Structure 1
Amino acid sequence: MSWDVVPAALPDVTVVRGTVATSPLLTEDDVDALVLPVAPATDEDEGVQPRSGTTDAAVRLGVDLPDLADRARLTGAAGEAHVVHLPRPIAGSADLPWAGLPPRVVLVGIGDGTTTDLRRAGAAVARVTRRLRRVVCTVGSDSGPSGTAALVEGYLLGAYRQPVRRKDAGEPAADELVLLGRYAEAAVGTATRSARATWVARALSATPSSVKDPQWVADQARLLAAALGLDVEVLGVEELTRRGFGGVLAVGGGSAREPRLVVVRWTPEQPVSSGVPPRHVVVVGKGITYDTGGLSIKPREAMVPMKTDMTGAAVALATVLGAAEARVPHRVTAVLPLAENAVGAASYRPGDVVTVFGGTTVEIANTDAEGRVVLADALAYADAELDPDVLVDVATLTGAATLGLGKQNAALYSPDDALARALADAGAAAGEPLWRMPLVEDYRTAIRSDVADVRHVPADSTTGGGSITAALFLQRFVGARRWAHLDIAGPARSSSATHEVPEGATGFGARALLRWLGELR
């Protein structure tokens, strides 16, 4: 496959009004499956409970579907799925009750029907209907806009396939998912935009570093932005040097693949009429296209997933693209500091003092803490030259964040209570949980330096709180701006596929940021 364009096209999702009992849609030749919801038993003596369309389907098919579910030992838990292949009659025999109807029925558990449950149910539908043509679904048809959005989002996220270079590229999703019933059509578009942003972030992050270098990412940014008419600026080594981006240049200096800084801008064409005051939001994303650790080299095992160390930049780019597609009323700018942290004759060293954008000097203690060095450049630049109302950075920054929060929650830092609350609420609604962490004042002494303005990691390795001290370091470069830092080191990568989360690059953060932008006032 080609690595030149990301991502692949999303499957089609359409809404058709009607019911399973009477819809002529089910008799069309290209409908390969009917997907129906079941919920957990409400009493120990009962089996799984039919939900929207399941009872009508049982009558129309002439099949006791709850009995089939019980025989398959379904519990109705969210994301559970079972495929029933309806037998075809032999030649010359009488027609069976389901003649002319889809040859498969898929029973999908919806749990309690929460948005999380429906997102998982949608992912299960994608998983069990691969390689089919049209699939008709009634799951969540009575769940309102939020339920519709969660179902579609889960389906599209579950349909994603990581980019590979092999003959067997994996099974594609069904050609089309048809939602039959009272679905909120506007929510389908919202969910599709959100899922597309995650696909972009995943595909960029999962691309091997043999292909992906700073210039490649810059080229992808130009390509994707051009499709939406966005302005893109790319700074090469000469301009980075002239303008004083010492952090990006230091980190990228040891690689034969030169660093870049990319700026992508979405500006609404006309003033909004909704009464929402327009803001300028700048999203900065860490863009280390591969991280060896530099001279403070990583162990071999720790290097394997480091093609995803630019997930922050991928999420920032996906966010500005999604904002443009959704036509949010706010200006949104993505800043992507891009570098490969390699080992070479020109590598920066522990003990060096680096001057970042704006003149702050930084004592380097560990070249494997390179993310905060490139972010210092980008944040200082955003504060000095872009004049944001809100400044957010996203980064696979510290292993310490995963020690405290595991692999499913990102660490959220902000001195602004309202901003932190809004981001956390958006993350919860989007299925990307953000856990607020403290900016502990007493820990600032850990990053004091005797030879520079600031030390980028604590002098004493026993200090602890590595995610906190990293956030405190970044805070020095945001001025008086409203600011939040998202450390996504844990949830940006997954060791196995679970529900809507694939193995490998997850694209975590794009949906949360887009939801927050949509609600920003």
Structure 2
Amino acid sequence: MSTPPVPGPVRAAQPELRRWSPPAVQVLPGPLTAADLTGCDVLGVPVAPGEEAVQPRPGAADAAVRYGVDLAALCAAEEVSGEAGRATRLPVPAPQGSPRRLLVLGVGDSSPQALRRAGAALARAAGPAGDVATTLADGAGADGVRAVVEGFLLASYTPPTAGRGTPAEPAGRRLLLVGDVPTAAVARGEALAAATVLARDLAATPSNVKDPAWLVAQARAAVAGHGVGVTVREEAQLRRDGFGGLLAVGAGSPSPPALVELRHRPRGRAAAGAPHVVLAGKGITYDTGGLALKPRESMVSMKTDMTGAAVVLAVVATAARLQLPVRVTGLLALAENAFGGSSYRPGDVVHHHGGRTTEVNNTDAEGRLVLGDALAHAHAALDPDVLVDVATLTGAAPLALGKRHAALFATDDDLAAQLAAAAQASGERVWRLPLVPEYAELLRSDVADSRQVATAPGSGAGTILAAQFLQPFTGGRRWAHLDIAGPGRSDAAEHEVNRGATGFGARLLLRWLESLAA
């Protein structure tokens, strides 16, 4: 175990960042011909691919009448394909009382995924305009409506700023959904989009602002008023209770580690027989790599290395807000992996909560150490029916799967299928990788229960080995592991995904909790 850190300078107080406020979503029942869109800047209507020409979908024909144009001819002239996620502005005059811009939005096969992309395309094409009206959600069903709302809100998002850069959305901006649109589905879409936005905001916050103590305060604020129990284990208690993984990783930083436990418990009849899910999130508020110092280029995005904890916080807060009839406990394993005289070292043996020991051979593989403590605590003290962790854990995951899929591991096929179905419904994609017991030999240590990473040259399978390292901490319980190192960050905007911190996993896990409650 490393020695306690030498007291460092007090982190200077930072001004509060300006956070984005989402547009309000409002339903206008009735056909487009009856809707009063005075003051709207943009109207978006859907079209789908056809054999010879694009096919109008709800509201498209009414828009043609409203603007006095031949929609089919205009779409042909503008080479509109109807492909999901394509938006085309049509050159039309704007009659009195009509939005000044008309967009046609490709909806492909009109699946929820296609409608989510269409909603995102509408947001990006509209830009920072005033009110935006659309018939995309008209008759789309609950899942389609949710997808349109999620796509529009998430593609409209801008990260926290210090008062400069991308301007915020205009105050009071609205998304007007025209037609047969169930309001309950709108509210659920707003809630899941808000969960993703919270995770994005936390992950995008610069690390000179956020440290473990800042995240503790954000966790308390996010769940306030929703009946969520909060327990915070700070450094002294972590030391008393033997959370050696968190202590070792945080040893080099003047900002001490913490373990936050958040408890959502359903009320009334919903509490009877409700399954207990424990979610654990990696919360490294900045990762230098420690003594295994990262190259400068690799450090640039490390403010987002606490995305797993941000996602878990957003999921628990939203589950409580929606009163989902599932017992959910969230564990946020928070530390800063800094470089200093008291940093933990290769060759150290870490004593985890629960007694398991790890021989350290790479201080830049710190996430598995803090997660090991969290998982061991969940097994020993929380008695979950199922345990799921989420983390930006390995650079090997995006090498294997790219930036659009998370790596999924699960101890049984049913749990894997549930999470894969939730991924499909949410649009947050996963790919299952195997747990390979034989690979445990690559982590064998002569001085501890296991090594932290394999040391054999060319052993490969880094993502699988990280999962194999974590599995013993679960005590044989039903468990799934989501390595979101790829999709947790994005180099460019695409559909509902923004550049930078994406909040990947929040909608997936909330969809999964909804399925458990069904």
Which band: TM-score by shorter chain? Answer: over 0.9
Question: Where does the alignment leave 5 or more consecutive residues of structure 1 unmatched?
Answer: 89-97
Moved more, 112-121 or 126-135: 126-135
Identity of aligned residues (%): 53
Q: Structure 1 residue 250 and structure 2 residue 243: aligned?
A: no
Q: What is residue 321 of structure 2 aligned with on the other side? A: 325
For 2:126, the aligned partner's letter is: T
Partners of 2:97 and 2:289 in 1: CA distance: 61
**Offset from partner CA, 1:351-382 (integer Å, 9 cap, x none):** 10010101111100100000000000111011
Secondary structure class of the residue paired with 1:122: helix
SS at match of 2:306: helix
Q: Hey, what's the Cα distance between the residues in 2 that align with 1:3 and 1:490? A: 31
- Distance (whole Å) between structure 2 residues aligned to residue 397 and residue 451 of structure 1: 25
Equivalent residue of 1:141, what SS?
coil
What per-residue deviation string (whole Å, max 9, x for no partner) do you get for residues 100-124 of structure 1? 2222212111112111111010011
Per the alignment, residue 210 of structure 1 pairs with 208
Question: Does 1:74 pair with 2:85?
Answer: no
- In 1: Cα distance, 2:423 partner to 2:62 partner: 37
> In 2, distance between residues paired with 1:132 and 1:85?
18
State the secondary structure of the residue aligned to 2:311: helix
Residue 114 of structure 1 is matched in structure 2 by 111
Match of 2:130 in 1: 133
Q: Could you say which residue in structure 1 is the equivalent of 2:154? A: 157
Aligned CA distance change for structure 1 residues 436 and 3 (closer, same or farther; 3 Å): farther
What is the Cα deviation at residue 86 of structure 1? 4.4
Structure 1 counterpart of 2:328, which letter?
V
Amino acid in the other structure paired with 2:252 = G
- Distance change (3 Å), C-alpha of 1:411 and 1:119: same
The structural deviation recorded for 1:468 is 0.7
1:500 matched to 2:511: no
**1:232, distance to aligned residue in structure 2 (A):** 1.5
1:10 maps to which residue?
22
In the alignment, the residues of structure 2 paired with residue 100 and residue 246 of structure 1 have an alpha-carbon distance, to the nearest angstrom, of: 66
Aligned to 1:441: 437
Query: Counterpart of 1:486 in 2: which secondary structure?
Result: strand
CA offsets per residue over residues 449-481 of structure 1, 9 Å max, x none?
Answer: 100111111121411111111101100101132
Paired position in structure 2 for 1:200: 198
Please tell me the residue identity of whatever aligns with 1:135.
V
2:40 corresponds to 1:31: yes
2:36 corresponds to which letter in structure 1? L
Residue in 1 that maps onto 2:65? 59
Counterpart of 1:99?
96
1:370/1:481 CA distance change after superposition, 3 Å: same
**CA RMSD for the aligned pairs?**
1.7
Query: Partner of 2:334: helix, strand, or coil?
Result: strand
Structure-2 separation of matches of 1:186 and 1:176: 18
**Cα deviation per residue 1:264-296 (whole Å; 9 max; x = unaligned)?**
1111122328xx830111100000001010001
Deviation at 1:215, TM superposition (A): 0.6
CA distance in 2, matches of 1:162, 1:415: 36
TM-score, length-normalised on structure 1?
0.93
In structure 2, distance between residues paired with 1:67 and 1:441: 62
1:463 corresponds, among 456, 459, 463, to 459
Deviation, 1:5, is: 7.7
Relative to structure 1, is the Cα distance of residues 342 and 267 closer, same or farther in structure 2, using a 3 angstrom cutoff?
A: same
Letter in 2 for 1:75: S
List alignment gaps of at least 5 residues for structure 2: 1-13
> Is the Cα–Cα contact under 8 Å of residues 401 and 410 in structure 1 kept in the other structure?
yes
8 Å CA contact 2:137, 2:180 repeated in 1: no
Partner-residue secondary structure (3-state), 1:458: coil
- CA distance, structure 1, for counterparts of residue 232 and residue 73 of structure 2: 61
Q: Is the Cα contact below 8 Å between 2:18 and 2:161 reproduced in 1?
A: no
Other structure's SS at 1:107 match:
strand
Letter in 2 for 1:386: L
Q: Which residue of 2 aligns with 1:261?
A: 259
Deviations 1:7-30 (A, max 9, x none): 643221121211122x1413x3x2
